[in-house]
């Protein structure tokens, strides 16, 4: 189980989804959140947090977003030596096998398909460990 | 493509969407929904709601749109269940919820249909809000599915062009 004080970045273009994810995280005892509405802003946020000495330790990202998609965001993250081992969870409605394989191939930590139950979300997070 | 093939694909798409609506509401909103009688929307028939989530459809066989239309009371009940917080008015926290629900429905349907070669492309849903908004589409056929649930009633409209 990840420690409750970890810094979590939630990236989704839908505010309602970010609100829902935060609610589920609070139920698990987490409260240290940052948010971004697409992958480009998410990457900028990661850089800012890293520069500020308080790096994000877990990213929860949607796939289907304008400007920079979640898969493009993942590619940038894994291509940057500062973030190669960052825990990156894709939370997305895109559940086709080819897409899951693509994300795994790019180094996603785990994958949650929407819609998901609170139990599935909790189980996926409980399996995570800080590098 | 023959008319028979087109009709079969429309039926298959419709049945998949029905399943995806039921699945999404059951899992994300913890609500059982019941489709009423599916019918064709009349050419001058008005379709009114307060919040709508809609998404364009592009596939190998047809294009069109899928729309989810809620009256405000149903929408507030649905979002309250989805986020596990009671909402008495449509705030910024839930304003785009109909688009997110549509995102889940389409994603689920697309996964099933693309395994059968439909080739649906990814699309980002939009949301329309306002009191008494009216939804129009120029794509025919337009299929209307009324839904009931203990969160309230709503509609799904499927409009297709081949």
Angle between helices A70-78 and A39-51 in degrees, nearest 10: 30
Q: Tell me if A114 sits within 8 A of B103, measured CB to CB.
A: yes
pLDDT one-digit tens code per residue, B1-55: 677 777 888 889 999 999 999 999 999 999 999 999 999 988 778 888 999 999 9
CB-CB under 8 Å, A115 with B103: no
pLDDT at A95 over 70: yes
Taken in order A125, B104, B112, A108, the sign of the CA dihedral is negative
Percent of chain A with pLDDT over 70: 100
- C-alpha distance from residue B33 to each of A118, B130, B147, B151, B153 (Å): 20, 24, 7, 9, 9
pLDDT at A88 over 90: yes
Average pLDDT over residues B101-126: 94
Q: What is the pLDDT of residue B139?
A: 64
Mean pLDDT in chain B?
Answer: 91
- pTM of the predicted model over 0.90: yes
Instruction: Give A 24-53 residues with CB within 8 A of chain B.
Output: none
Coil, strand, or helix at residue A112? Answer: strand
Coil, strand, or helix at residue A50? Answer: helix
Q: What is the pLDDT of residue B61?
A: 83
Q: What is the pLDDT of residue B33?
A: 98
* Chain B residue with minimum CA distance to A94: B107
Q: What is the pLDDT of residue B140?
A: 64
- C-alpha distance from residue A76 to each of A57, B21, B124 (Å): 16, 34, 22
CB-CB under 8 Å, A94 with B107: yes
């Amino acid at each position: 189980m990840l420690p409750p004080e970890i810094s979590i970045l939630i990236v989704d273009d839908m505010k309602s989804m970010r609100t829902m994810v935060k609610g589920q995280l609070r139920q698990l005892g987490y409260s240290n959140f940052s948010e971004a509405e697409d992958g480009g802003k998410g990457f900028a946020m990661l850089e800012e947090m890293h520069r500020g000495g308080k790096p994000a330790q877990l990213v929860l990202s949607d796939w289907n977003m304008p400007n920079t998609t979640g898969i493009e965001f993942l590619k940038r993250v894994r291509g940057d030596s500062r973030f190669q081992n960052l825990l990156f969870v894709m939370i997305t409605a895109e559940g086709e096998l080819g897409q899951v394989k693509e994300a795994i191939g790019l180094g996603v930590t785990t994958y949650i398909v929407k819609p998901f139950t609170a139990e599935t979300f909790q189980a996926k997070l409980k399996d995570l460990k800080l590098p | 493509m023959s008319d028979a093939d087109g009709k079969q694909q429309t039926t298959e798409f419709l049945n998949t969407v029905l399943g995806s609506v039921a699945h999404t509401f059951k899992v994300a909103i913890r609500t059982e929904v019941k489709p009423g009688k599916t019918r064709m929307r009349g050419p001058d028939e008005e379709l009114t709601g307060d919040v709508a989530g809609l998404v364009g459809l592009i596939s190998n066989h047809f294009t069109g749109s899928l729309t989810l239309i809620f009256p405000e009371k149903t929408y507030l009940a649905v979002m309250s269940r989805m986020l596990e917080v009671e909402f008495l008015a449509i705030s910024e926290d839930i304003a785009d919820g109909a688009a997110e629900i549509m995102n889940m429905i389409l994603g689920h349907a697309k996964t099933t249909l693309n395994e059968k070669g439909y080739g649906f492309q990814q699309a980002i849903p939009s949301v329309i809000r306002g009191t008494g908004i009216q939804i129009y589409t120029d794509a025919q056929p337009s299929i209307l599915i009324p839904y009931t649930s203990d969160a309230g009633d709503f509609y799904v409209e499927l409009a297709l062009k081949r």
